[in-house]
Amino acid sequence: DHDGLTNLEEIRTYGTNCTNWDTYFDMIRDGLEIQNGLNATNPDSDGDSLWDGWHDLNGNGIYEPGLNETGEDINANGVVDLGETSPLKADSDDDGLNDAEELALGTSPLNDDSDGDGLLDGREVLEIGSSPFTNDTDSDMLDDFTEVEITHTDPTNKWYNATHTDYQIDSDGDFLTNGDEIDIYGTSPGDMDSDDDGVSDYLEVMVYHSDPLAEDSDGEGLLDLEEVMAGTNLTLQDTDGDQLDDYVEVKILGTNPLAASTNGNGTLDSELDHDGDGLANGLEIYGYGSDPLNNDTDSDGLLDGIEVYYAGSSPTDIDSDDDGLTDFEEYTIYHTDCSGADSDSDGLDDYTEVFVSLTSPLQWDSDSDLLSDGQEWNEYGTDPNSADTDNDGIDDKREIDLGFDPRSNDTDQDTLSDWDEYYVYHTNVTNADQDGDGLNDAEELEYGTDWDNWDTDFDSISDSDEVNVYGTDPLSDDSDGDNIADADEIFNSHTNPNLSDTDGDGISDDLDDEDADGLNNHDEIYLYETNCTMVDTDQDLLDDYFEVFVSHTSPTLWDSDEDTLGDWDELYYWFSDPNSRDSDGDGLEDSEEALMWHTLLNDTDTDNDNLSDYDEIKVFETDPLSYDTDLDTIGDGDELNIYNTSPLRADTDGDGLLDNEEIFGIYMTFNFNGTPYGKWVYPDPRKSDSDMDTLTDFEEVNMTHTDPTVFSSPGTGVSDADLDLDGDMLTNAQEIRLTKTDPALWDSNSNGISDGDDDIDRDLLTNYWECVLTQTDPRDPDSDDDGISDYNDDEDGEGLSNGEECATYGTNPLSRDTDGDRLDDYEEIFEYNTSPLSKDSDSDLLEDGEEVLDYGTLPNLNDTDSDLLSDWEEIYLTLTDPLTNMTNPGVLDGDWDSDSDGISNIDELRVYGSLPLDPDLDNDNLIDGMELTLGTGIGNPDSDNDTLLDGDEYWLYGTDPLSTDTDGDLLSDYDEVMVYGTEGNSTDTDQDGIPDFDEIQAGTNPLSPDSDGDSLTDYQELITYSSDPLSVDGDTDGLTDFQEVMQWHTQPLNNDTDADGLSDGAEVLVYGTDPTRADTDLDGLDDYTEIMISGSNPLSIDSDGDGLQDAQDFQPTVHWAMPIAGLMVLLFVAAVGVRRFRERFMVKEYVTEAEPASLGLEPGMNVAVEYKIRGGLVVFGVVIRNGSESPMQNVQVVLGVPDLIDTIKTESVGIVEAGSVSVTEIEFELQPGAEGELVGMVEYDTLDGEHRIVNLKPVRIVA
């Protein structure tokens, strides 16, 4: 019966039924009961009238508590899970009631105190008679526990007597009612003195106002009863306010706790000094913790007051700083710091200095050697009383800084004193043999060797060995001069390093051949590094001479290429190159090939499979000695390089077809359209499912007989796996994987029933249902081994068996809620009469679950309240109640206007298609009802398509929402409102006489009658004076257009009205000349000539007052005194001179001007350069015209001719106000005819402090 007990155990041992897995039908397998200590022959092991598992009253195998099916281990898993009672314990919670009794009563069998009142459920039911469901059975405001254990009143009767309830009486006789004690004071109604302090709860609460739950209410140390006896306040620590706790006054000082000044003299008790030590009582108790009745609390010989105010020590510690000296000794004898163990902070405590090191405890460095006493004593072991402990002439501090031993005059014990080593020889003081050659520094001095070099003569023999072992000269690397170094003679040729011809054969040691191998000693040592005494230095069976001159191998290495194969073996056994680790260059070292893989050292592909030995071994792990490693008749190289198959697996993709079958083809016969045909197929040997139809190539070739290379063999788009070739309602994949039937046969077992309709496991579910719907095993009647057949099982646990869902209702047996409407299929069928296959049975856009669970509407009637609105529309669109047809009394919900937009809900939904909760459907700031009145579109926010919302046009701009150009001024309403800011219902917004359209075309501001703010209206500038309405100074001459038109009558677009070479601004603002007359003073010289060339006064006909008009005067600025008789001659000369002067010195106008791209230039601003010759000097005039609206500050002019003169000249101008002109002269002394490039710039600051630069155009000049 598969219950976990063998038949023998059931019969002989346990007496259970060996043919029934649950002998007594308690729903727990017999084996599991035995395993967990239950009685398998008794359904109620603990005798509590509850079955160990559960009592299946109707025998359907489903736990149904609604049918009063009870039990303990409900899931029958043999474990007491959360929420389950124990089948081994009759009273699971040990409350005196067994589990069945608790279930019958309604208490929790898992909670010993169901109502949480502190009384066990069993005690309440069986002993007291109170209710286990409420903590106050008689509702007298006292919980049952309090009444039983504290007040000893009856918890089942609220009335103590005819007039008072248990809550109103005083059970403990302390004059406080039970209710007040519990709810107001928190005291015990069963104890008249809750805190056992000797003062009753009543006195504490009503008389003393102290804490009835604390024996010391104010926490100062006196119990409340003691305070009552002393007459002090139980809630104040200091009753009399003398800054001493009542406890201190009563228990310690004996002062009166009820009088701030016990002595009555006005001095507070805390300010008294009972022991006369200079410290007030309060300070001793609260400040220093000393005894106010003992003038020397720590008995150290110092009064407490002395310690606090003078010694700085603690009056409660005999040695305040714990340095071994008492406070008395430190203060009176040694005068050290009582509060610091190390008075001089030298690292030694005062006691050590006084009694051990004998240094001064008040002096940081007793011997003045810059080392603290503590450092000398604790760290260095030097004498803190001597500056030079070892008397070597170097003080301790310097020796320590240098790393010497300050305690020894010869730190390294080399017989040279530290002084001599450091100051005389400059050797290493701390290392006797600093070069480590075995000779100390003194011996090196004696032999003349270098104490910094262990091998003075660099012959690889230490100086010590040369002197003490070999007797050679440590100052010469070749002591005998035979061209062989001493070391080589000693360790290689074994000749005497002190004799040039050791064997006396007349041949010097260097030319001798000690081992007679054909190589002399010198060459062996210095050319070949071989051993002079061995014919075969490396013992590789090849003599040194042969290796040097024949094999060209290394005579010092038996394996020249270090591949672990000897040179002789490579030459004569392996026939490889002894000078190459990889003779055949295949990536494998010769030693690997020879000793590990047994491949040829001089052939890269031993098995001729087109894979190198290296690739086979290191990359592909194939056999380099086998042409076909996996024996699939395809060479390893072909598998990798041609077919991309695995050379290690005969069936690369593991689909059951060998690689050679898939590569070279399989002949198959097909019949998908009624006409059989055959063809060769070539599945991909690298993919078990070549066509990715979830059937392996093997299954398609041998079972479904479909094309393994085509996803859909019939060409229908349905994969071969999903095909049902035999028409039995099971796909090929299901037949192969699940039912194990033949996918090519409609009735695999020939029983006359198709494989899909068949029921292999005889569980009343067809194979189709199990494969597709329940997803159970069609070959196992109880797929989950739960003792219930797949048919009767309820996979989704909603109450419908798999069989009912498949056979009767067509629901999904794997989903509790087939249509996903939050109602179980069972509920829809049996409770709500809705369709379990449709989320919205009444098609009202509300899911059935929403209607039932959320809104209470009928899921099978779309208008529950018959108000012409569907339930969904009421909930989501009108916010009316779908359960009543008149949410607002007197008006049907359909006729109501939920959004107050003037259109009823039903009209919005049925007529206009608008939303009943959105008064402005198109969000154009017009409610829908008003849009109907105006004729605009309810769903169109911009009826005239001018990109302005209809509501904004109507309310904000006063424009027509049905016209794109309300005022007909050729500007659309959008452009006027959003782009130009003009009025959409006025053709001339600024009323300046120019229509808005014309102003925009002209570039003027349609919102201002004077666009440039120059006091001339745009109309005057455009129509009357033809000036620039966008510039205050249209010709940038320094005069505003208003000044030129109204004041000076100059031309506002011509900066030099009288064409005299001077700008109108310069004439008015700088020179005071008439800008409308070229010659203001009518003296025959124009204003420009007078100002820029002759320097005369343009406002005077005779600048120098010499009687000659400036035009006639040779020097109009120099007054000549001469006879009238010579006047005519002078006039003649002057006339000739003036002509020549003009011809020679006429000003060249505007040599250069500002770069237009200069970042410092603002509109109306310009800089130009003029020049003239004066006194042999070239004078450049830099003219700055500031026609902008802001002043130029901190102006500087910089000029230079770097080709001709090194000096760059700078002139400070200061401020050039807005609308003004400045001229700055800069002189240069240049050789006549000299050519160069004039460069320069103007720097200035704006009002905001921004520094700007205006660059001048560079220009070539000739002096």
Tokens of 35: 């395993």
Percent of residues, the chain, with pLDDT higher than 70: 97
Residue where the block lists tokens 């309405």: 1029
Report which residue type is found at 550: V
CB 36 within 8 Å of CB 78:
yes
For residue range 305-319, list pLDDT tens digits in order: 999 999 999 999 999
Region of 231 on the Ramachandran plot (φ > 0 left; ψ -120 to 50 alpha; else beta): left
**pLDDT above 50 for 1037:** yes
Quickly list DSSP for 1050-1061: --TT-S-TT-SS
Bridge partners for 1195 per DSSP: 1214
**pLDDT above 90 for 44:** no
pTM: 0.35
Tokens of 1245: 């600051």
CA pair distance 723, 732, nearest whole angstrom: 6
Mean pLDDT, residues 209-217: 94
Q: For the range 727-730, what are the long-range contacts, defined as Cβ-Cβ under 8 Å and sequence gap of 24 or more?
A: 727/754, 728/754, 728/755, 728/756, 728/757, 729/754, 729/755, 729/756, 729/757, 729/768, 730/755, 730/756, 730/767, 730/768, 730/771
Mean pLDDT, residues 211-224: 94
Residue where the block lists tokens 């069928």: 829
**pLDDT above 80 for 1113:** no
Mean pLDDT, residues 861-888: 93
For residue range 540-565, list pLDDT tens digits in order: 999 999 999 999 999 999 999 999 99
What is the length of the chain?
Answer: 1263
pLDDT number for residue 1112: 76
Burial of 2 (0-12, 13-18, 19+ CB in 10 A): exposed
* CATH 2.60.40.10, the chain: domain bounds: 1148-1263
CA pair distance 462, 439, nearest whole angstrom: 9
CA pair distance 287, 22, nearest whole angstrom: 84
> Where is 905: in which H helix or E strand?
helix 905-907
**pLDDT above 90 for 123:** yes
For residue range 473-519, list pLDDT tens digits in order: 999 999 899 999 988 888 888 999 999 998 899 999 899 988 888 99
**pLDDT above 50 for 1138:** no
**pLDDT above 50 for 1145:** no
Closest to 42 in 3D by CA, of 20, 28, 24:
24
Mean pLDDT, residues 1122-1131: 35
DSSP E strands: which ranges in 327-427?
Answer: none
CA pair distance 571, 555, nearest whole angstrom: 15
212: Cα within 13 Å, side-chain hemisphere: 24
Least confident of 59-73, 759-773, 938-952: 59-73
CA pair distance 147, 1005, nearest whole angstrom: 94
Closest to 943 in 3D by CA, of 961, 920, 919, 967:
961
Residue where the block lists tokens 């001798």: 512
Mean pLDDT, residues 699-704: 92
**pLDDT above 50 for 1125:** no
Least confident of 893-902, 973-982, 1110-1119: 1110-1119
**pLDDT above 70 for 1156:** yes
Closest to 294 in 3D by CA, of 283, 284, 308, 307:
284
**pLDDT above 80 for 1137:** no
CB 759 within 8 Å of CB 730:
no
**pLDDT above 80 for 57:** no
Q: How far is CA 395 from the centre of its chain?
A: 60
CA pair distance 853, 872, nearest whole angstrom: 14
Highest mean pLDDT among 738-747, 1110-1119, 1134-1143: 738-747
372: Cα within 13 Å, side-chain hemisphere: 16
The strand pair at 1259-1262 and 1220-1228 is best described as unpaired
pLDDT number for residue 1143: 36
Largest CA distance in the chain: 176
pLDDT number for residue 1139: 37
Q: Higher pLDDT residue, 70 or 14?
A: 14
Contacts of 314 (CB under 8 A, 6+ apart): 288, 298, 307, 320, 327, 339
pLDDT number for residue 1149: 56
**pLDDT above 80 for 1191:** yes
Cα dist from 41 to 16, 23, 130, 713, 1084, whole Å: 6, 7, 39, 62, 149
> Span 1148-1263: which CATH code?
2.60.40.10
Look over the chain and give the mean of its residue pLDDT values, rounded to a whole number.
89
DSSP state of 668: E
For residue range 223-262, list pLDDT tens digits in order: 999 999 999 999 999 999 999 999 999 999 999 999 999 9
Least confident of 524-538, 753-767, 1016-1030, 1149-1163: 1149-1163
Q: Higher pLDDT residue, 878 or 88?
A: 878
**pLDDT above 60 for 1127:** no
pLDDT band at 1119 (very low <50, low <70, confident <90, very high): low
Contacts of 535 (CB under 8 A, 6+ apart): 515, 516, 517, 543, 544
